[in-house]
Chains A and B, each alone.
Chain A
Amino acid sequence: MKRYLNCYDTHSCVRCFSCMTNCSVENRVRLQRDQHIPSEQTANHPMHHLNYLMPRLKEFGVFPKARQIIEFHHCMHCENHPCLDICPAFAIVKRPSGAVVILEERCVGCRSCIDACPYDVPVYNPETNKTYKCILCFDRIENGLVPACVEACPTGAMFSGPEDEVLKEANERASFYTERYGEPYVVYGAQRLNGYVGRTGWLTIVPEADLEAYGLPQDPVKSAAIMRGPLKVGGAGLAGLTALACTGHFLYWLYNRKLEVARDQEGRNVLEQGAEAGEGTDQGTTSGQAKEENRQEETDGD
């Protein structure tokens, strides 16, 4: 599959929020499809973490010159995906389309991706101890459908497709608006922004003067995460070795422990047979011991 882009055109959007509602609904469809939670059970509950596209209301200026900007807040599907790089659980992957996806079942809830994201996108849900963000509807686009937000847009303000097509349309619109309104419009994310994010997989057509207002920094970085970069390189080897050594030792210990338990088990069986024979005075202690060992076995089984 070729690189796939989403594009949001702030100029022709009528702010009907159809895209956002549909995203919210599509994630409920997924709950029914993948987890067998029927839609009537999800339709009546807020699911903040599953709204991958959210509005951020901002005001600028003073009456009567005041302006409102509604930022469409969503994952940018960065080319250089700092969230993927930082994830210690290998829970974030890049699909062939360029969609950067958190695999829910792998996510350990450490929130490193939140630290790394220069757009403040991933949302942590304490109830599930997992982090969520837009998956660029990779299940839909890989099967020939457009993302739910694009499907929902009644005005063509949101469009998507193979890289070349979307770039062409986006650039044409931006240059037309620039010429028409005498004010520069740009396609945010079409060109490499910096080394941290690269280009973005979700473009935005926006007046250049309003980039910041729409939450689109020219140089998106997250310093905390950048600090971790060199540390990671330097520490990675050491940390890796240490981890490996620890794991190895742990597993070795486990193996030995298993043997011990097996030996104990043999002994216990003998004891239990004795208890059944009628010598019940020490029964409490014995069963208590057995319980503890059972617990131990459960742990071992992991």
Chain B
Amino acid sequence: MVRIDRRSFFKVSALGLLGGQAVSFEPARADVSATDFGLERRIPLMCRMCDQFCPAVGVVRDGRLVRVESNKHTPYPGVCGRSRAAVGALYSPDRVKYPLVREGKRGEGRFRRVSWEEALDKIALKLKELRDEGEAHSVAYLPRFHSGPELDEEFFEIYGTPNYFISYGDTCWAGATSLGFAAHMGGPKASGIPILGPGAIQPDYENSEYAILMGRNPGGAIVTYSWGVSFGRAKRNGMRVVVIDPRRPAEAGGDAEWVPIRPGSDAALLLGILNVIMDRKFYDEEYLRDYTNADILIDANTLLPVGTRQNGKALDYLVFDKATRSVTFKSKAKDPALFGSFKELIDGKETACKTGLQMLADNAKQFTPEWAESISTVPAAKVIELAENLNRYKPRVVLDRGYRSERYFSSLREKLTMATINLLLGAFGREGGLFWQHPCGLGHFIHAPKPSGQSILDYYIENEPGWILSNPVEGRRTYARSLLEDKPYRSKVAVIHGQNVVGGSAGSWDIAKALNKLELIVVISPYFDETVMNADIVLPDATYLERDEALSTKFKAPIPTIGVNRKAVEPLFESKDGYWIFNQLAKRVLTEEEYAQHYSEFEERGIKAVWEKQYAGIRGVTESERKTIPPLDILLEQGAWAGSKKFYLPQAMGTPTGKLEVYSLLLAETHEKLKNKGYPYAFHASPLPTWTPPRYMGLKPKLEKGEFVPISAFFPLATFTGAQTRNNAIIKEFADIMGGSSVMINPLKAKELGLSDGDKVRITNALDPNKKCYSSVVRVSELIHPDALLTYYSMTTGACMACRQYLTIVSKEGCNPNHVNSLDFIPITAGHPSQDFIVKIEKLS
């Protein structure tokens, strides 16, 4: 053996040390190459972390979804943080994994696993039985974001129930926003009521100089990311932003202006702005003359037009012609007066009448900035400043239409006044203002016969004054009401698909009680929620990441789009997609002939058959746009097609006069009808500027100690009450840091109640103490109006005790205001007054 002395050993080892260092300094990840990223598979998706269908791309590595990106094949590419966290939703340990059948009582959440065969046979047996007994109408279908478009509603239409589609919009946009704008701008009609979809009128942020956001926060609740993209561009282009909100939304940015407002009083502030616009002649006369019915002569007593006649599709109406100084029909008049009060012989009777614009101006006089301040707590000087700024930057101003409008009894008036101001400023249909979306359509796979019989929602529209202008399909809470009243008939089966009817609607437990009257509740859902807890049979739905879907045009971009959703990974556990489920149900329930006619092609050729028919029926695009639509197989690869045309047209869509109606004839007629019926809320439909206070203001003269109006907002990374965001570990990390499940109150109130940050409180309905959320953590903040208590929407299991065992990630602290609210309806639109009540908080020791 060779002996080494100390010195020579040292020499050798020093070399070794150096050599070792040189090699291991190479970082481990430096061997990642471009090829490595190229190994990722990219699958086109339409994101359904919320219900907006934003074009996205799922990235798959080694058979697993690893991330979601935006699809660049649209001019508005962008998906938000919810979308990015899809991995957490897909691989959630808390998914509904197998078909389940209820074991305990409804609401308890005790289930037993069954086979698909058993679950489907059970459902089919009941459906067949009812159909054979002539009771098809007693079945209702309530779908949402994860259904089986082209195959599901059609199944219920063929089956024969007029309640084949009952949607969620009454808890979101379908009342105030839809009607508020449709009353002035028009819209497609259903059951005689003009309705506007949630994307029909869009803000043109990117070309705007000045935006006032009400009922809208730009990050969290900008909702669809074409708007998010456009808003970001607008900020880069130098748009000035004012946010009017009881709490400051962080998403507006540190440099936006915040005007705090008392909850539910936005309409009062807008009436104040309207007052200044009329008083200081900030309106655009030319626009009013060219595009609106501002010149219509109105009977000052009845508030109805003094004379109309049918002229083609639209009504011709009497005006005062300044050229001849006489009353004549608009079509004949040379120079109709925009303003003026007249006493004229109409049909031989002397009638006091005014132009529509004059009526508006006269009635706006009472709503001075000082009056607006007294209701809204926004200083009169600020009201004037807002009006002045609108005037300065018009028509490149966005007085935003807002989102999720069903909040207060005053919500309809808020949107009506918003629409009116947009017309007065000449900002509607102009670049930089609000404009019509230009949507396109697709062909259909199944042409189902229209079921006979009256739908539940149509019954309420016809017979209940409070429902007179409610949306005829968006009415899941009306459905609950009908269950309680057995009107117009007794319902027996509800198939609820991807909707959280219970947790997502004000008056959750009243609704659960209503559902309890049904003989069978089937819920198809990828996740557990309040509604699943009440189900008799639960079917595990595949998420959008696990299914090929029909093409869709639902993405709310300013331009027409067609989106594609392909299967990124195989369905997990025993989940199946809506197409498979409805094909199976059709096989079991429909007659052989019906099945052969409508479903057998799908059975043979699968989703490809659906795509081909949809593709062949593309409509509503311009000729030049059509040339840019790629062949179907390419479209299926690239995942999205987008058109180019924006409609900057100050045009109405089927209003009675065919014009943009500054003076809404729909409202005038409705108001008259309701007045004659003696309906106490008839004034809510007034065609004139009117203050319709939120209900809570009438409940108590003043909020007492510990009482608040429970406002809610979207947390930027969460959405409606699906577990895809609320029970998502990736999102929860950020939610915890940002107090996502806490309740926010102003320090003035906190001091009064001896509360500080981190204290726990119980929240109860001030008028119905049985409705409560047991424990919420308080966050004390200067960023909120003292009257308001903020909860972020759907960040907790709230008062749903049964949900706790199934949703392991979501916060168990916190409050869902729907759980504390009651099943009440906003007059005229039958929306849900989600924030229009009073809660009381008590400190928990």
Give, as a whole number of angstroms, the nearest-CB distance from B627 to chain A: 29
Q: Do A43 and B90 form a contact, CB below 8 Å, given A21-B730, A38-B64, A59-B782?
A: yes
B87:A25 contact, CB within 8 angstroms: yes
Q: Is the interface of B mostly helix, strand, loop or mixed?
A: mixed
B420 within 8 A of A: no
Give, as a whole number of angstroms, the nearest-CB distance from A192 to chain B: 26
A21:B731 contact, CB within 8 angstroms: yes
A15:B88 contact, CB within 8 angstroms: no
> CB within 8 A of B66: which of A13, A28, A104, A156?
A28
User: Which listed segment binds B: A109-117, A175-183, A193-201, A280-288?
Assistant: A175-183
Chain B residues within 8 Å of A155, by CB: 78, 228-229, 231-233, 235-236
A93:B27 contact, CB within 8 angstroms: yes
Which residue of A has the minimal Cβ distance to B257?
A: A67
A290 within 8 A of B: no
Which residue of A has the minimal Cβ distance to B731?
A: A21
B729:A44 contact, CB within 8 angstroms: yes
B65 within 8 A of A: yes
A39:B81 contact, CB within 8 angstroms: no
B28:A154 contact, CB within 8 angstroms: no
The distance in angstroms between the C-alpha atoms of A22 and B217, with both chains bound, is 22
Interface size on B, residues (CB 8 A): 85
> CB within 8 A of B250: which of A33, A70, A104?
A70
Chain B residues within 8 Å of A103, by CB: 27-28
Chain B residues within 8 Å of A16, by CB: 80-81, 219-220, 222, 228, 251, 716-717
Chain A residues within 8 Å of B30, by CB: 142
Chain B residues within 8 Å of A33, by CB: 32, 36, 61
A29 within 8 A of B: yes
Q: Would you give the 0/1 interface string for B722-755, flagging 1 where the beta carbon is closer than 8 Å to chain A?
A: 0000000111111001110000001110000000
Which residue of A has the minimal Cβ distance to B13?
A: A251
Chain B residues within 8 Å of A40, by CB: 64, 91
A119 within 8 A of B: no
B222:A14 contact, CB within 8 angstroms: yes
Q: Would you give the 0/1 interface string for B65-90, flagging 1 where the beta carbon is closer than 8 Å to chain A?
A: 11101100000011111111101101
Q: Do A25 and B27 form a contact, CB below 8 Å, given A143-B37, A154-B79?
A: no
B66:A18 contact, CB within 8 angstroms: no
> CB within 8 A of B248: which of A17, A67, A142, A143?
A67
Give, as a whole number of angstroms, the nearest-CB distance from A70 to chain B: 5
Q: Is the interface of A mostly helix, strand, loop or mixed?
A: mixed
Chain B residues within 8 Å of A13, by CB: 232, 253
Q: Do A25 and B783 form a contact, CB below 8 Å, given A33-B61, A43-B91?
A: no
B232:A39 contact, CB within 8 angstroms: no
B243-275 with Cβ < 8 A to chain A: 248, 250-251, 253-255, 258, 260
Give, as a whole number of angstroms, the nearest-CB distance from A246 to chain B: 12
Interface size on A, residues (CB 8 A): 82
A11:B78 contact, CB within 8 angstroms: no
A10:B253 contact, CB within 8 angstroms: yes
Chain B residues within 8 Å of A69, by CB: 254
The distance in angstroms between the C-alpha atoms of A155 and B737, with both chains bound, is 23
B634 within 8 A of A: no
User: Which listed segment binds A: B2-10, B307-315, B549-557?
Assistant: B2-10
B1-44 with Cβ < 8 A to chain A: 1, 3-4, 6, 9-10, 13, 21, 24-25, 27-30, 32-34, 36-37
User: Which listed segment binds B: A49-57, A77-85, A229-237?
Assistant: A49-57
Q: Do A25 and B85 form a contact, CB below 8 Å, given A14-B218, A103-B28?
A: yes
Chain B residues within 8 Å of A176, by CB: 238
> CB within 8 A of A43: which of B61, B255, B729?
B729
> CB within 8 A of B716: which of A15, A143, A252?
A15
B419 within 8 A of A: no
Chain B residues within 8 Å of A139, by CB: 29, 32
B84:A156 contact, CB within 8 angstroms: no
A62 within 8 A of B: yes
Chain A residues within 8 Å of B79, by CB: 18, 154
A154:B78 contact, CB within 8 angstroms: yes
* Nearest 9 A/B pairs, CB to CB: A155-B232, A154-B78, A66-B782, A21-B81, A40-B91, A12-B235, A14-B219, A15-B219, A15-B251
A/B interface sample: 23 pairs, CB < 8 A: A10-B253, A14-B218, A15-B251, A17-B734, A20-B81, A21-B82, A21-B84, A21-B85, A22-B67, A22-B81, A25-B84, A34-B29, A43-B729, A54-B737, A59-B783, A63-B746, A63-B785, A67-B254, A68-B250, A143-B32, A154-B79, A155-B232, A157-B235
